[in-house]
């Protein structure tokens, strides 16, 4: 069974660079908790701090309620998967996978038969059972990554640390591995921390996630919360592809009704939006966030709320991304391929006010989500 | 005018390494054509033959109606952008862009005018004094393109120009590049291994494998009507699912598709059966369906199959599930609002949208051309 993991006020600096700052979060026992952020956000530093490879400057890390800061990595005994595989080149796949089970100073001893059984089972799950006799140099990148995963999964560790574990796999295998990893994690009930820059992976696998940016946690929540109710602009931009559109807007009072308007559009607020924005001074600029999937594009320029001109149209297979120039601001719309728009086409856009987000333009904080 | 025509073009390295085999391709004036395929498929060799960096072993290559097999690279009126930009690091953007003209001894005033023109188009005005070494990846790319375009060549050649940019920048540059090409109307040949890039940018795509063009068509044709299993697999992400089965023709134009195992046994009638090439009598085929083309069936339709859910993967815009159909693991894209659990059984409608059939031996499509 997994253990509970807590980070309390963790800060780590390298020289003058602060890698992570005041991290506070608890990963519940048996939970799959993701660290989501672009490269340089502090994900790997956090994973290394938990593993004991790095020491924090400040703060405490607790596993199962007691501090583990004084424990060396091998004492913590967390199973870790690196993006860079880190396989032993002179050992076969089977030997690589069995390696942690044979390590001399582990608490648990495994019999030869048990080792063989564990390696075989894990290899089958990862679809590398036909590669067991090969050496790492005879494997593709995706295969190496799965061997790296296998080496971590083969033993009973209380905590799994996965640092971009499926980044190098092709699309089909990635979907397969997401499903398999999640299933395995739930079945074993092992607490797992997953670092990834890919929001789709987080949505597919994580129970909860922390969005990291420049070493700071922006928001912690379930994937549904992060997507539907982002606390700020950074979180809104971290989830969704293409990323959320942000348009400058102002509040205006006309005939007793509140309007939200910007260059190219003016929309009457519904009650909920009006209530949320009441505190904002009239004339103040805010940021209107609309997801590309929540916008409908009309070939009739008079039909929608915002008029624009097609800047570029990119069919992507099943669907397409239309980029629309709205008075100098480019807005992305996810639409059907069959719309076959051309550069320069006059179009209009509409959206439902229930699906938009409004952010304070200076602080980035969400006013309405 | 700058159409490009390949007439039976071959590239053979040494005695027997056939990199490009009997290529026949027409590229229209102003068209954006991608050469798409895995590494080693011959796409870069093809581009280099157009550029004049490789000799043409056999066949004819024409640009604007002129045979260019023996024309020097500098006299072919083509400009090339390389993956690594090949900028001079300690020269400013201005000097890099101006270089091809400076080299030809063009008048300084004239150069200034042209550099300003092109940098406006590529939004480089503010970066002209910056040294190439201090530019960001996307900026270097734009300077590289500006330098390629300054000579007003009639053909632009690009070899994986954005493949090593990070995902965000790649998506942005992709759109910018596609737009720029349309605005300039310059005939463009673009080499990439990334199907999404090719679909997003191209007027037409030549899918290549092992030196042979597998299919040449618009993004829509390749996606909706793949000519063979290679194209079907290569275009679209996640890729098409394949289920090997038997095709049997029955009475009144009906077609039965079934596997040995239980679970996949469907009957196509009327319109659906009529999509299949009537020349194909029956036998071993491969049924192909994209993850996005399934529908969850309500009743017991004759074109529905029962499938057991192996995995359900939640998503914001799309959800996915892996299901078992006979012994095959099949990926299904579904609406994020409907949830399934491991162990559920679902009925999948497999012919409501689009399905594909291939001859198992030749791997060629056996769908009628107009239906393909």
ipTM: 0.85
Full domain range(s) for residue A186 = 5-238
Contact B313 A182 (CB under 8 A): yes
Chain B interface residues facing chain A, Cβ-Cβ under 8 Å? 166, 168, 171, 174-176, 178-179, 182-183, 195-196, 199-201, 219-220, 223, 235-239, 290, 292, 310-317, 320-322, 329, 331, 342
Q: Verify that A14 and A131 share a domain, yes or no.
A: yes
Cα-flanking dihedrals φ and ψ of residue A283, to 5°? 95, -15
CB contacts of B314 in chain A (<8 Å) are: 203-204, 223
Which two tokens mark A305? Answer: 């709320």
Residue A359 CB coordination number (10 Å): 25
CB contacts of A176 in chain B (<8 Å) are: 311, 322, 329, 331
**Neighbour-count burial of B119, counting CB atoms closer than 10 A to its CB (0-12 exposed, 13-18 middle, 19+ buried):** buried
Q: Of the candidates B175, B290, B313, which has its C-beta nearest A179's C-beta?
A: B313
Cβ atoms of A324 and A339 within 8 Å: the answer is no
CATH number at residue A36: 3.40.50.300
Q: Verify that A25 and A168 share a domain, yes or no.
A: yes
**Closest Cα to residue B208, out of B56, B364, B47, B36?**
B36
Single residue among A174, A204, A238 that ends a domain in this structure: A238
Q: Verify that A202 and A323 share a domain, yes or no.
A: no
Q: Verify that A233 and A253 share a domain, yes or no.
A: no
Q: Verify that A41 and A161 share a domain, yes or no.
A: yes
- Under the banding of pLDDT at 50, 70 and 90, the label for residue A221 is very high
Q: Which of A34-38, A193-197, B131-135 has the lowest mean pLDDT?
A: B131-135
Q: Verify that A42 and A158 share a domain, yes or no.
A: yes
Q: Verify that A54 and A155 share a domain, yes or no.
A: yes
Task: Please name the residue of chain B whose CA is at the shortest distance from the CA of residue A183.
Answer: B311
CATH number at residue A284: 2.40.50.140
Q: Mean of the pLDDT values across residues A120-127?
A: 88
SS3 B217: strand
Alpha-carbon span B181 to B187, nearest angstrom: 8
Q: Of the candidates B199, B320, B331, which has its C-beta nearest A317's C-beta?
A: B199
CB contacts of B236 in chain A (<8 Å) are: 317-318
Task: Please name the residue of chain A whose CA is at the shortest distance from the CA of residue B197.
Answer: A316
Alpha-carbon span A295 to A297, nearest angstrom: 6
Q: Where are the alpha helices (DSSP H) in B104-153?
A: 108-121, 137-149
| CB contact set of A279 (below 8 Å; sequence gap of 6+) | A367
Q: Verify that A275 and A137 share a domain, yes or no.
A: no
Percentage of chain A surpassing pLDDT 70? 99
Which two tokens mark B50? Answer: 């157009």
Q: Where in chain B is the domain with CATH 2.40.50.140?
A: 241-359
pLDDT over threshold 90, residue A233: yes
Burial B134-146 (b: 16+ CB within 10 A, else e): ebeebbbbbbbbb
Q: Please tell me the predicted confidence (pLDDT) of residue B151.
A: 82
Least Cα separation, residue A65 to chain B (angstroms): 32
In tens digits, what is the pLDDT along chain B, a chain of 372 residues? Answer: 699 999 999 999 998 999 999 999 999 999 999 999 998 899 999 999 999 999 999 999 999 999 999 999 989 999 998 777 789 999 999 999 999 999 889 999 999 999 998 888 888 889 999 999 988 877 888 898 889 888 888 999 999 888 877 777 888 889 989 998 998 899 999 999 999 999 999 999 999 999 999 999 999 999 999 999 999 999 998 999 999 999 999 888 899 999 987 779 999 988 899 999 999 999 999 999 999 999 988 766 788 999 999 988 888 878 999 999 998 999 999 988 888 998 999 999 998 889 999 999 999 999 987 644
Q: Which residue has the tokens 């009529």?
A: B274
Q: Please tell me the predicted confidence (pLDDT) of residue B372.
A: 45
- Residue-wise pLDDT for A306-353, tens only, equals 999 999 999 998 889 999 999 999 999 999 888 889 999 999 999 999
Which two tokens mark B120? Answer: 């406006």
- Under the banding of pLDDT at 50, 70 and 90, the label for residue A105 is low
Task: Please name the residue of chain B whose CA is at the shortest distance from the CA of residue A310.
Answer: B179
| Beta pairing class for B187-192 and B155-159 | parallel
Q: Could you tell me which CATH class the domain B4-229 is placed in?
A: alpha beta
Contact A334 B317 (CB under 8 A): yes
**Most confidently predicted of A97-106, A150-159, B98-107, B139-148:** B98-107
Contact B178 A312 (CB under 8 A): yes
Cα-flanking dihedrals φ and ψ of residue B252, to 5°? 45, 45
Q: Please tell me the predicted confidence (pLDDT) of residue B370.
A: 65
- A221 touches B: beta carbon within 8 Å: no
Q: Which of A28-32, A105-109, A242-246, B165-169 has the lowest mean pLDDT?
A: A105-109
Q: Where in chain B is the domain with CATH 3.40.50.300?
A: 4-229
Q: Please tell me the predicted confidence (pLDDT) of residue B158.
A: 94
Q: Could you tell me which CATH class the domain B241-359 is placed in?
A: mainly beta
Least Cα separation, residue B359 to chain A (angstroms): 23
Give the distance, in angstroms, between the CA of residue B359 and the centroid of all CA atoms in the same chain.
23
Which two tokens mark B180? Answer: 């720029």
Single residue among A181, A211, A238 that ends a domain in this structure: A238
Cβ atoms of A136 and A157 within 8 Å: the answer is no
Contact A227 B316 (CB under 8 A): yes
Q: Verify that A224 and A281 share a domain, yes or no.
A: no
Residue A311 CB coordination number (10 Å): 20
- A124 touches B: beta carbon within 8 Å: no
| CB contact set of B61 (below 8 Å; sequence gap of 6+) | B4, B5, B6, B7, B9, B49, B50, B67, B68, B69
Contact B179 A312 (CB under 8 A): yes
Length of chain B: 372
Q: Please tell me the predicted confidence (pLDDT) of residue A253.
A: 82
Single residue among A220, A238, A256 that ends a domain in this structure: A238
Q: Of the candidates B179, B317, B342, which has its C-beta nearest A183's C-beta?
A: B342
Contact A337 B220 (CB under 8 A): yes
Q: Verify that A148 and A95 share a domain, yes or no.
A: yes
SS3 B55: coil
Q: Verify that A249 and A227 share a domain, yes or no.
A: no
- A236 touches B: beta carbon within 8 Å: no
Q: Verify that A161 and A22 share a domain, yes or no.
A: yes
Q: What is the mean pLDDT of chain A?
A: 90
Cβ atoms of B249 and B281 within 8 Å: the answer is yes
Contact B316 A180 (CB under 8 A): no
Domain count, chain A: 2
| DSSP output for B268-325 | E-HHHHTTB-TT---EEEEEEE-GGG-EE-SS--TTEEEEEEEEEE--SS-EEEEEEE
Contact A223 B220 (CB under 8 A): no
């Amino acid at each position: 069974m997994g253990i509970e993991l807590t980070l309390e006020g963790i800060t780590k600096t390298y020289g003058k660079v602060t890698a992570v700052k005041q991290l506070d979060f608890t990963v519940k026992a048996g939970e799959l908790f993701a660290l989501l952020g672009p490269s340089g956000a502090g994900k790997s530093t956090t994973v290394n701090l938990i593993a004991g490879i790095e020491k924090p400057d400040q703060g405490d890390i607790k596993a199962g309620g007691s501090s583990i800061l004084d424990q060396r990595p091998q004492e913590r005994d967390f199973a870790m998967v690196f993006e860079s595989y880190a396989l032993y080149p002179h050992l076969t796949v089977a030997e690589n996978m069995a390696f942690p089970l044979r390590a001399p100073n582990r608490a648990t001893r495994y019999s030869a038969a048990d080792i063989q059984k564990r390696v075989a089972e894990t290899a089958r799950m990862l679809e590398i059972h036909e590669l067991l006799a090969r050496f790492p140099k005879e494997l593709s990148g995706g295969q190496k990554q799965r061997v790296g995963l296998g080496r971590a999964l083969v033993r009973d560790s209380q905590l799994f640390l996965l640092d971009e574990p499926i980044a190098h796999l092709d699309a089909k295998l990635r979907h397969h591995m997401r499903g398999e990893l999640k299933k395995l994690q739930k079945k074993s009930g092992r607490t797992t921390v997953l670092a990834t820059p890919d929001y789709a992976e987080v949505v597919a696998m994580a129970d909860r996630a922390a969005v990291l940016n420049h070493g700071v946690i922006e928001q912690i929540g379930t994937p549904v919360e992060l997507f539907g109710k982002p606390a700020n602009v950074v979180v809104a931009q971290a989830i969704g592809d293409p990323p959320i559109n942000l348009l400058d807007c102002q509040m205006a009072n006309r005939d007793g009704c509140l309007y939200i308007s910007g260059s190219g559009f003016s929309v009457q607020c519904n009650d909920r939006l009006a209530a949320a924005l009441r505190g904002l001074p009239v004339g103040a600029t805010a940021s209107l966030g609309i997801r590309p999937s929540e916008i409908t594009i009309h070939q009739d320029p008079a039909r929608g709320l915002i008029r624009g001109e097609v800047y570029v149209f990119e069919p992507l297979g099943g669907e397409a991304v239309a980029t629309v120039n709205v008075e100098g601001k480019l807005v992305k719309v996810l639409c059907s391929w069959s719309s076959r728009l051309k550069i320069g086409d006059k179009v209009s856009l509409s959206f439902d006010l229930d699906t938009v987000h409004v952010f304070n333009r200076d602080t980035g904080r969400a006013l309405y989500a | 005018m700058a159409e490009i025509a390949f007439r039976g073009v071959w590239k053979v390295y040494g005695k027997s390494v056939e990199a490009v085999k009997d290529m026949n391709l027409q590229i229209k004036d102003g068209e954006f054509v991608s050469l798409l395929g895995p590494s080693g498929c011959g796409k870069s060799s093809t581009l280099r033959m157009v550029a004049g960096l490789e000799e043409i072993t056999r066949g004819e290559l024409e640009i604007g109606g002129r045979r260019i097999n023996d024309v020097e690279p500098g006299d072919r009126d083509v400009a090339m952008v390389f993956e690594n930009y090949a900028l001079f690091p300690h020269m400013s953007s201005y000097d890099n862009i101006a270089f091809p003209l400076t080299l030809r001894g063009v008048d300084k005033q004239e150069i200034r005018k042209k550099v300003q023109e092109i940098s406006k188009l590529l939004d480089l005005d503010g970066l002209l004094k910056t040294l190439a070494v201090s530019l960001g990846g996307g900026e270097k790319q734009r300077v590289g393109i500006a330098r390629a375009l300054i000579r007003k060549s009639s053909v632009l050649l690009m070899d994986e120009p954005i493949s090593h940019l990070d995902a965000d920048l790649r998506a942005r540059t992709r759109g910018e590049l596609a737009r720029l090409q349309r605005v300039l109307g310059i005939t463009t040949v673009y080499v990439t291994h990334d199907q999404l890039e090719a679909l997003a940018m191209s007027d037409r795509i030549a899918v290549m494998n092992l030196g042979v063009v597998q299919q040449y068509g618009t993004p829509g044709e390749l996606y909706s009507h793949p000519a063979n299993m290679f194209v079907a697999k290569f275009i679209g992400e996640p890729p098409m699912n394949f289920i090997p089965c038997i095709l049997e023709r029955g009475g009144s134009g009906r077609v039965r598709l079934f596997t040995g195992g239980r679970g996949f046994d469907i009957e196509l009638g009327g319109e659906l059966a009529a999509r299949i090439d009537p020349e194909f009598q029956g036998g071993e085929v491969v049924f192909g369906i994209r993850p996005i083309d399934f529908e969850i069936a309500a009743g017991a339709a004759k074109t529905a199959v029962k499938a057991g859910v192996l995995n359900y993967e939640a998503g914001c815009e799309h959800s996915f599930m892996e299901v078992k159909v006979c012994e095959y693991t099949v990926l299904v894209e579904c609406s994020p609002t409907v949830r399934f659990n491991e162990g559920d059984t679902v009925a999948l409608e497999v012919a409501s949208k689009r399905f594909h059939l291939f001859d198992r031996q030749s791997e060629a499509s056996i769908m009628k051309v107009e239906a393909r």
